[in-house]
Amino acid sequence: MTDVRAVGVVGCGLMGAGIAELCARKGLDTLVHEVDARAVEAGRDRIGSSLARAVERGKLAADERDATLKRVAFTTDLADLADRDLAIEAVPEDEELKLRVFAVLDRTMVRPDALLASNTSSIPIMKLAAATSRPGQVVGLHFFNPVPVLDLVELVPSLVTADEAWERIHAFAAETLGRHVIVSQDRAGFVVNSLLIPYIVAAVRMFESGFAAAHDIDDGMVRGCAHPMGPLRLADHIGLDTTLAVAESLYAEFREPHLAPPALLQRMVQAGHLGRKTGIGFYRYP
Ligand code: CAA
């Protein structure tokens, strides 16, 4: 176990809610930041329904659910994260926004040994670290959706992450959270998205060109390769906005034509067809 007991989670969307739920389930004092009261309520509902599902599935006892909920508090003021041992940023995949959050966390968090982590899928950790006055304490801590179910985290040091901070965050991820840790260098997409997003982009292009229907593309990978979901349903599950943002980061870093986001993906995001979270993507969700 590590010395990290009080955690701040910035953002309570798909990923932030899962991260907050996991931290609270592991007994940590968890303070979640969202932008306004409505977003707080939506985040609280996300955590509540995931915990309810865990109870229904026999993964969690009802009294553990209640204890977990008691360990999660919400705020709309980032200044309330002042006393945290660790802040995990999980706001949308927008570089300007993340840079602003890191700059504010840097001013806010008072503990000199506080750790600042980002759940970014693709933005260089070095850029986020450079937005702070303590770049040695900034790391990438990347979870997978659904966070309570998938037991992997990618840990990403920047060029200047301090050894002591690295050891503490590694122990936090592996021991306190009990996650399987893989380590990636600070390259766009890290290990998993560098492999996954080009595959999803290829599937979108296949669908866009009329090569095959969405359900046939997905059935091909589910039934032919035993994946739990096909690539288009998985894109809907991740969120088409996040999928597009990661594809853009990969393309910006590596400039390989096959990484260029397909026009259809861009149009769907512009239309607000973001996948499961908005009820429509490659499929419809009631
Ligand atoms: N807490 C704990 N366990 C839970 C839970 C919760 N809140 N909700 C569900 N579970 C458990 C269930 O009990 C079940 O466990 P068993 O297999 O032991 O019975 C398991 O999780 C699966 O749950 P369901 O039966 O409800 O759902 P499913 O079988 O239809 O699977 C899925 C749903 C887990 C999403 C599965 O389809 C899957 O793994 N899909 C792939 C997801 C994936 O690839 N995610 C990574 C995306 S990339 C990413 O996130 C990073 C990025 O940067 C873009």
CA 187/CA 264 separation, integer angstroms: 26
- Verify whether residue 121 is a known catalytic residue: yes
Output the CA angle 221-192-9, nearest 5 degrees.
Answer: 120
Beta carbons of 246 and 268 less than 8 angstroms apart: no
Domains 6-183 and 193-278 share a fold: no
- Write the ipTM: 0.93
Two tokens, residue 238: 């991740």
Pocket test for ligand 1, best of 59, 241, 285 (most atoms within 8 A of CB): 59
> Active site includes 227?
no
Q: Could you give the 3-state DSSP secondary structure of residue 124?
A: coil
What is the pLDDT at residue 19? 98
Please work out whether the CB of residue 148 comes within 6 Å of at least one atom of ligand 1. yes
Run means of pLDDT, 10 residues per run, the chain, 286 residues: 90 97 98 98 97 96 96 97 98 95 96 96 94 98 97 98 98 98 96 97 98 98 98 98 95 95 98 97 97
| Pairing mode, strands 138-142 and 6-10 | unpaired
User: Does ligand 1 lie within 6 Å of residue 57's CB atom?
Assistant: yes
Give the Cβ contact number of residue 84 at 10 Å.
25
Structure tokens at 112: 């000199």
DSSP-derived secondary structure for 242-254: HHHHHHHHHHHHH
Residue 1: per-residue pLDDT: 60
Q: Return the domain boundaries, the chain.
A: 6-183, 193-278
The DSSP-derived string for 194-232 is HHHHHHHHHHHHHHHTTSS-HHHHHHHHHHHH--SS-HH
As a CATH number, domain 193-278 is 1.10.1040.10
Q: Annotate 254-266 with DSSP letters as a single string.
A: H--GGGSPPHHHH
Round to whole Å and give the CA distance between 252 and 239. 20
Does the C-beta of 145 come closer than 6 Å to ligand 1?
Answer: yes
Residue 122 confidence (pLDDT): 84
Q: How far apart are the first and last CA of the chain?
A: 42
Catalytic-residue membership of 273: no
Residue to substitute in 149, 153, 218, 221 for testing ligand 1 pocket (most ligand atoms within 8 angstroms of CB): 149
Q: Is 30 in the pocket of ligand 1 (CB under 6 A)?
A: no
- Residue 89 is predicted with a pLDDT of 98
For residues 40-57, one letter each, b for 16 or more C-beta atoms within 10 angstroms of the residue's C-beta and e for the rest, the string is beebbebbeebbeebeee
In CATH, what class is 6-183? alpha beta
Full-model pTM: 0.94
Between CA 151 and CA 178 the distance in angstroms is 8
Token look-up 């999803």 returns 200
Residue 254: how many other CB atoms lie within 10 Å? 14
What is the whole-number distance in angstroms between the Cα of residue 181 and the centre of ligand 1? 18
